[in-house]
Structures are given as C-alpha cells and as structure tokens.
C-alpha cells in the first residue's frame, strides 16, 4: 500500500481561530496546563523532523514533540501498518486477558535489547505508570519501603511517582507521600562538592551511601535514577557514578531502577537502552515517550526474581499493550534498526554537540553544553563566574528560535536549560539549520 505525499504545507481548514482555542482552553483546562511561547503554536501536521502549524508554516522540531519522536513524525511504515490494520478491521481493543501478537512480539524484542537477566516485561500507557510498576515491584520484592531518588529528577505525575520528584514546582500541597529520601544531584557543572569532574572522587556517589546510612534503617527498596536527568535540565552524571551507585544500592538490599523514559529508544546513540551502554547494573528499566514514537506506550523490563515476587496477585492495566500501541512501538523498534537511527543519533549528536561547543566560545550566555547522543542541553547563565540562571533569556531564546522556524525545549528547576531532543533521523543539514538559528538568536539577546 502506498500513501500519497501529505500536503503538509497546506493550511488546515480549522473552524476556530487560535485566539478562540486559547480562550476555550483557558476556560476548561486546569491551570496546571501551561504552554510554550507567548502565543502558543497550533501544530496540525508533521513529517520526519518537520512540523506545520494551521497556516502551513514549517518548523524544525528539535524537541521531538516532547522527547517522544524517535523514528520521525508520521513515519510511512507506521502509517501504512495503521491504515492496513484499520482497513482489515483489526481489533482495536483487546487486553492481556487474550493473546495479542503485537504485544507478545514487542515483549520479545524488548527483552532482546535489555541487559542480560532482564527479560520480564509489563506494558503501560505512560512513563508515570511504568515507574509506578517499577516502584511497586521493587518494594514488593524487597519488603522495604524507602526509595532513594535524586534531587532535580522527575519520574511522573501520578501520586507515587510525584513522591519521588525532585522539583518543588511539580509537587502539590497535602500530597500523600511515599517514603523517599533524596540525594544531591551529580551535577558536574554545579558540583555541590566544589570539585572538578576531572579529578573528583565521586563524592556524589559516596554521598548516596552516607545518606542510606544516616537516614534509613540500613535497608532500602530501590534507587531510582534517569541516565540523564531530563526535566531537571539534562544533568549528565559521569558514567562511573551509575556503576558506583548501583553497587551501593545492592549492598543495602535495594533494586536499581533505571528510568529511561527520555533516554531510551536509542536516543543516547549507543544502544537501544542507554542502561546497557552506560554499564548500569540495573534490576528494572522503565521507558515510554520515544518507545512508541508518540503513541501512548510505556514499558517496564525487570529481572525474573522481581517479577516472580509479584506472583499470586492481579495487576491489570486496561489499555496497556493494546494492538495499535504495541504495533507502533514494535514498528518504531524495527525502523530504528533498519534505518540505523542509533548510529545517526551518535553521529549527528556529536556534530551538534561540537557545534554547540563552538558557539559557547562566541556566546557568553552559554555556561554549559552537556548530554549524550541526541539528548543535548545548553545551560544559559547571565555570568559565567556567578552562574546566575538566565531564565528570562532562555524564554527569549525560545521565541527568537520560533521566529526562525526552529522549535526547542527548555527545562531545569530555574527554566534556564535549553533542551534539544529531535527525531533520531534528523539530518546534518537540519542540524546546521539549528546551529545557525541558535547563533543568530543568542547574538540578538547578547546585543540587548
Ligand atoms: N520519567 C521521565 C524521566 C520523564 O521525563 C517523564 C515525563 N516527562 C516521565 C517519567 C513520566 O512520563 P509520562 O508523562 O508519560 O507519564
């Protein structure tokens, strides 16, 4: 089956203006639903790394939805399979109460990509749910409640995951708390131990052991961490940190949960799961976002003994692993393999990172460039000595980039970190477009 080229640049015949959409949204959405840009964009079409607003204006999407687009927007292989399934009247809703070839194949493929020993899989509709299952499984297997999390981390918006959230701005008053203890973030740019990463002694990892010894009864359920702290502003801990912390976690009886909701699906440019290439001795890995290439699909992969400890109880998630979700995640995995997108993430990631380091030489606003593969962060500071957060400047940069048809993300507790996470299929030419727009926009801000 072949699909006609979509007329991406054609204006969409919408009945409401953007002003009307915004007014209705303000009337009915919760005040927690914020939007990017003074005048929010209305994106209606997409292809690869490009997205289009209702008027047909084209933008380069360098944040991939919200770190969700791995194989590229509207990949033809996924489109074709979706159309085929619909035309064949394939069942849209079925659950784990029945057999489902897509979910089964997906579990098999995921187990192949996971580090040795992790081969039991559960699906979910989101990253939050995947982490809920991971936390439940770790607590159940150990019989312990305490979970160690990292300050500035984010693991989801549900009650359980929010208890392990390292941002006051995401936590709510009177929220029931699960037992957790937060450790200092391994942030080399703002090292809390005032060390230089080149000659430190991983004081940040030692601090994890000290925290367990001084704030718990000496046993923990889990340590949960992202390989790169996404919402926290792409804080990129040294590789040795993970290895050391996994040892500590196991020493105190805990399970290591590697939250790959943002870093998974090949984004870090080495292996499908970054946990593997970073050599993290994880017991449970969670993923979502790029896993389904934008479909509401998440997953947890865990060791058999942790899964076995759940036996005898029911756990059910109505929509998890439904045929359409599972097909999209499975096809995304195939595309990543066939189109060598992990290699591309590595190659273009290095190219962009080098370009950013060059920009840093000319633009005093750039305090730090970090990340791996195609998960790259630029921390903006008002002054390189004081490292004062350049929050307003980051907002201004977002607007200036939008004026230049490039969409970027931002993050960090103080909203001063630019987040770049394009489709893994982004081209060198598009990378040049990004770097040029950044160069120009930073120049405009610096001129005042
Ligand atoms: N973990 C991480 C690392 C995330 O970045 C997010 C989402 N930003 C989540 C979990 C939660 O995922 P979801 O929004 O799909 O529930």
- Would you place residue 317 in the very low, low, confident or very high pLDDT band (cuts 50, 70, 90)? very high
Would you state the pLDDT for residue 9? 72
Instruction: Compute, in angstroms, the gap from residue 231 CA to the centroid of ligand 1.
Output: 8
Distance between CA atoms of 98 and 91, rounded to whole angstroms?
Answer: 12
Q: Is 261 in the pocket of ligand 1 (CB under 6 A)?
A: yes
Helices (H), 1-68: 18-28, 64-67
Question: What pairing do the DSSP bridges indicate for beta strands 417-420 and 375-380?
Answer: antiparallel
pLDDT tens for 17-57 read 999 999 999 999 999 999 999 999 999 999 999 999 999 99
- Would you place residue 4 in the very low, low, confident or very high pLDDT band (cuts 50, 70, 90)? very low
Same domain, 102 and 224: yes
- Does residue 129 lie within any of the structural domains? yes
Distance between CA atoms of 376 and 438, rounded to whole angstroms?
Answer: 14
- The whole domain housing 216 covers 81-338
Distance between CA atoms of 189 and 367, rounded to whole angstroms?
Answer: 9
Half-sphere exposure of 9 (CA within 13 A, CB side): 2
Q: What's the mean pLDDT in 132-136?
A: 98
Residue 141 makes CB contacts below 8 A (sequence gap 6+) with: 255, 305, 306, 309, 310
At residue 302, φ and ψ (nearest 5 deg) are -145, 170
Q: What is the number of the ligand 1 atom nearest to the C-alpha of 229? A: 3
Q: DSSP labels for 169-200? A: GG--TT-----EEEE----GGG-TT---GGG-
Tokens matching residue 372: 């791996």
Same domain, 150 and 252: yes
Same domain, 218 and 293: yes
- Does residue 10 lie within any of the structural domains? yes
- Give me the CATH number covering residue 17: 3.90.1150.10
Q: Is 288 in the pocket of ligand 1 (CB under 6 A)?
A: yes
Residue 307 makes CB contacts below 8 A (sequence gap 6+) with: 120, 137
- Does residue 119 lie within any of the structural domains? yes
Least confident residue range of 11-15, 150-154, 335-339, 427-431: 11-15
Same domain, 172 and 319: yes
Query: In the beta sheet, which residues pair with residue 366?
Result: 380
Same domain, 310 and 254: yes
Residue 198 makes CB contacts below 8 A (sequence gap 6+) with: none
Would you state the pLDDT for residue 124? 98
pLDDT tens for 240-259 read 999 999 999 999 999 999 99
Q: Is 149 in the pocket of ligand 1 (CB under 6 A)?
A: no
Same domain, 43 and 96: no
Instruction: Compute, in angstroms, the gap from residue 87 CA to the centroid of ligand 1.
Output: 33
pLDDT tens for 66-92 read 999 999 999 999 999 999 999 999 999
Q: What's the mean pLDDT in 146-169?
A: 95
pLDDT tens for 398-407 read 999 999 999 9
Q: Under DSSP, is residue 46 helix (H, G, I), strand (E, B) or coil?
A: strand
Distance between CA atoms of 434 and 405, rounded to whole angstroms?
Answer: 9
Same domain, 367 and 429: yes
| Residue 135 and residue 284 in contact, taking contact as beta carbons nearer than 8 Å | no
Mutate-to-test residue for ligand 1 from 150, 152, 155, 235, highest number of ligand atoms within 8 A of CB = 155
The domain boundary, picked from 338, 365, 394, lies at 338
Would you state the pLDDT for residue 2? 40
Same domain, 333 and 347: no
Does residue 1 carry a pLDDT above 50? no
Instruction: Convert 257-288 into a string of H (helix), E (strand) and C (coil).
Output: EEECCCCCCCCCCCCCCHHHHCCCCCCEEEEC
- Does residue 74 lie within any of the structural domains? no
Q: For the chain, what is the radius of gyration of the CA atoms? A: 22
pLDDT tens for 355-372 read 999 999 999 999 999 999
Q: Is 300 in the pocket of ligand 1 (CB under 6 A)?
A: no
Q: How many folded domains does the chain comprise?
A: 2
The domain boundary, picked from 306, 338, 370, lies at 338
Mean pLDDT estimate for the chain? 96
Same domain, 288 and 140: yes
CB burial of residue 322 (10 Å; 0-12, 13-18, 19+): buried
Residue 385 makes CB contacts below 8 A (sequence gap 6+) with: none
Would you state the pLDDT for residue 176? 67
H-helix or E-strand containing 222?
Answer: strand 222-225
- Would you place residue 198 in the very low, low, confident or very high pLDDT band (cuts 50, 70, 90)? confident
Looking at residue 291, what DSSP letter applies?
G
Same domain, 57 and 121: no
The domain boundary, picked from 293, 319, 338, lies at 338
- Does residue 73 lie within any of the structural domains? no
Q: Is 126 in the pocket of ligand 1 (CB under 6 A)?
A: yes
Same domain, 187 and 263: yes
Q: Is 156 in the pocket of ligand 1 (CB under 6 A)?
A: yes
Mutate-to-test residue for ligand 1 from 132, 152, 154, 295, highest number of ligand atoms within 8 A of CB = 154
Q: What's the mean pLDDT in 94-122?
A: 97
Same domain, 325 and 347: no
Q: Is 128 in the pocket of ligand 1 (CB under 6 A)?
A: yes
Distance between CA atoms of 99 and 118, rounded to whole angstroms?
Answer: 22
Does residue 442 carry a pLDDT above 50? yes
- Does residue 76 lie within any of the structural domains? no
Distance between CA atoms of 260 and 273, rounded to whole angstroms?
Answer: 7
pTM of the model: 0.97
- Does residue 105 lie within any of the structural domains? yes
Mutate-to-test residue for ligand 1 from 68, 261, 290, highest number of ligand atoms within 8 A of CB = 261
- Does residue 122 lie within any of the structural domains? yes
- Give me the CATH number covering residue 149: 3.40.640.10
Would you state the pLDDT for residue 177? 72
Query: Atom 10 of ligand 1 has which residue's CA nearest to it?
Result: 155
């Amino acid at each position: 089956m072949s699909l006609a080229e979509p007329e991406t640049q054609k204006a969409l015949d919408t009945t409401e203006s953007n002003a009307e959409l915004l007014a209705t949204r303000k009337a009915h959405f919760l005040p927690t639903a914020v939007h990017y840009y003074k005048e929010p964009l209305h994106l209606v079409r997409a292809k690869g790394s490009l997205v289009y607003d209702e008027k047909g204006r084209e933008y380069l999407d360098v944040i991939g939805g919200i770190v969700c687009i791995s194989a590229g927007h509207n990949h033809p292989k996924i489109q074709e399979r979706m159309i085929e399934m619909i035309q064949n009247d394939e069942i849209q809703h079925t659950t784990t109460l029945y057999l489902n070839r897509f979910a089964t194949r997906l579990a098999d493929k995921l187990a192949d990509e996971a580090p040795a020993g992790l081969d039991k899989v559960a699906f979910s509709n989101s990253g939050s749910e995947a982490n809920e299952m991971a936390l439940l499984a770790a607590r159940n297997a150990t019989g312990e409640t305490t979970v160690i999390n990292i300050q500035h981390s984010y693991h989801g918006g549900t009650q359980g995951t929010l208890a392990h959230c390292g941002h006051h701005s995401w936590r709510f008053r009177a929220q029931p708390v699960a037992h957790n203890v937060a450790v200092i973030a391994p942030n080399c740019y703002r090292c809390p131990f005032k060390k230089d990463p080149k000659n430190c002694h991983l004081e940040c990892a030692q601090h994890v052991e000290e925290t367990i010894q001084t704030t718990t009864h000496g046993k923990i359920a889990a340590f949960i961490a992202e390989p790169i702290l996404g919402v926290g502003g792409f804080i990129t801990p040294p590789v040795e940190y993970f290895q050391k912390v996994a040892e500590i976690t196991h020493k105190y009886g805990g399970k290591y949960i590697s939250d790959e909701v943002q870093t998974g699906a090949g984004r870090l440019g080495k292996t499908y799961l970054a946990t593997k290439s970073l050599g993290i001795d994880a017991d449970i890995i969670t993923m979502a976002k790029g896993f389904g290439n934008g479909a509401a699909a998440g997953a947890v992969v865990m060791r058999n003994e942790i899964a076995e400890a759940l036996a005898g109880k029911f756990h059910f998630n109505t929509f998890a692993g439904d045929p359409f979700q599972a097909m999209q995640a499975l096809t995304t995995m195939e595309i990543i393999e066939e189109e060598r997108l992990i290699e591309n993430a590595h190659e273009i990631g290095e190219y962009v990172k080098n370009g950013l380091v060059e920009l840093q030489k000319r633009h005093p606003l750039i305090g730090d460039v970090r990340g791996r593969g195609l998960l790259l962060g630029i921390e903006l500071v008002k002054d390189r000595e004081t490292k004062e957060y350049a929050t307003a400047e980051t907002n201004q940069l977002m607007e200036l980039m939008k004026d230049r048809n490039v969409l970027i993300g931002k993050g960090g507790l103080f909203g001063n970190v630019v987040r770049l996470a394009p489709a893994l299929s982004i081209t060198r030419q598009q990378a040049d477009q990004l770097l040029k727009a950044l160069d120009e926009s930073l120049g405009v801000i610096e001129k005042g």
